Structure formats: structure tokens, C-alpha cells
Amino acid sequence: MPIILTYNINGIRAAIKKDLPKWINSTSADIVCLQEIKAKEEQFDKEIFEEYGYSSYIKSAEKPGYSGVAIISKIKPQYIEYECGISKIDSEGRFIRLDFENYSVLSVYFPSGSSGDLRQAFKIEFLNLFSEYIKNLKLRIPNLIICGDFNICHQAIDIHNPTRNKNTSGFLPEEREWLSQFLNSGFTDVFRFFNKDPHHYSWWSYRARAREKNLGWRIDYIMISNNLQKKLKRSVILSQAVHSDHCPVLVEIDD
């Protein structure tokens, strides 16, 4: 099995200008899940990734310059699922799945609820719909690798100021409880499998030199089906990557 990377790149065109393809190649990643590409398929420069041996699979949002996910892979998938079949999710370009011989990889961009009550309500609806989708998918494909920006900090150690943020979208009790239930349904948070220490984050505000001070949130995850645990080799947060306000998470899985 491969080295897999997940990265919310906050705009593929801007990230490419910061040498994203070359950096990805330097990680030796076989499969890279991208979120928030903010581009239509014709605006996504597939050729620059092809130079490094990656094929690109893209699901854009209907709204220009918004959301969107992609997976680039050196391994040829057996099947590509561009939609989860839920129109309000698919129209926002939040889901893509590649099926390989012994496992499936998903790139998912969970909604943010920070802009107000309507989006927070959509976020909660998304969480429930996604749970149901995964529950049904696991019946057919037991080995799932779910990568993405979940827009949720799971525990107090995943956020720089848990007390001040306890009523903030992304750290609300109901969101954290959903994530606990999701893990309890048969998934492993691969970074936490190897590392139980605080102060490891994957997103920082652009304001107030938050990244420099490491005042961040850990909201980007790779979740694997529990039966893949025994194949886990390592998982790291690559905080030195600066193509975005997020940074990537990497997992290496043995064959």
C-alpha cells in the first residue's frame, strides 16, 4: 500500500505558483487528496502533475472559485466515484473517491459553519448524511482511507485555546461528539495513533501571526478503517509546507 497525503491547498492555482507539484513529488506520495481547489477542471493544470507521474481526478463546485476536491495518483484506480449521490453535497464539490484493488481513498471537504446559522445547520446535516454514506459504503468496501479537511477539532489538545473556542464552530460539543461517534464506528485517526502530544495543528489563521506563534487548529485528518491499523507505518503533520493556511498530513501504510 502507498504513501498518502491530504492537503487543503486553498486554491490550486495559487499553490502551483508556490511550487506545489515539485513539493508533492519530494514527499514520494503515491496518492494525494486535495481540498478547496477553488477551480473548474479546465483551470486545474493536470499536465504539470503528469510531469511527476500523477494522474488527476477532479470534482469542482458549481460555483466558480469555491470549494472543490481532487485526487492525484501515481496508482491507477479501478473505479472513480465523482459524486456521493447527495445533490447538495455534490453541487459544492465536496467529495471524490478512488477505488483501488484492496482499498478506497476518499478526498472530502467538510463544510465550515463559521459564516452563520444556515451554514452551521448545513454542516450538521452534512455530518449525518456523510455518516450514513460511509456506513453503507463499508458494507461493500471494508478498507476505507478517508482524507480531508473535516473542519472539526476533536479534542482540547487539537486546538490552541479550547476554553475560548468552546462555543466556536469547529469545536462545538455536537461536532466533537459526531467525530467521536464516527471513530467509534470503526475508524482510526492515524496521526493520533502515533502521536498523543498537544500543539500539533494543521490550520492557522492568517491573522495576528498565528502560524508563527503556533496558535492553530488540527482539523485535517486521515481516517482509516480499523482493520488497516496493523499496516500503519507512520503518520506525520508536515507543518513546514506553506502553500496554504493549512498544512498536509501524511500516512504510510505497509502492503
176-192 residue pLDDT tens: 999 999 999 999 999 99
HEC per residue, 14-39:
HHHHCCHHHHHHHCCCCEEEEECCCC
Of 103, 125, 102, 130, which Cα lies nearest the Cα of 113? Answer: 125
**pTM for this entry:** 0.98
Is residue 163 over pLDDT 70? yes
Domain count, the chain: 1
- The pLDDT-based confidence of 251 (bands split at 50, 70, 90) is very high
Q: What is the CATH number of the domain that holds 162?
A: 3.60.10.10
Each residue of 65-79: pLDDT tens digit?
A: 999 999 999 999 999
Q: What is the pLDDT of residue 93?
A: 97
Q: What is the pLDDT of residue 115?
A: 87
pLDDT (mean) for 223-247: 97
Residues designated as active site: 149
* Domain span including residue 180: 3-253
Of 103, 62, 60, 61, which Cα lies nearest the Cα of 79? Answer: 103
Is residue 255 over pLDDT 90? no
pLDDT (mean) for 27-34: 98
CA distance 9 to 232: 25
Percent with pLDDT over 90 in the chain: 97
pLDDT (mean) for 199-213: 96
Q: What is the pLDDT of residue 118?
A: 96
pLDDT (mean) for 198-216: 96
Average pLDDT, the chain: 97
Each residue of 74-131: pLDDT tens digit?
A: 999 999 999 999 999 999 999 999 999 999 999 999 999 988 899 999 999 999 999 9
Q: What is the pLDDT of residue 182?
A: 98
Is residue 222 over pLDDT 80? yes
Is residue 1 over pLDDT 70? no
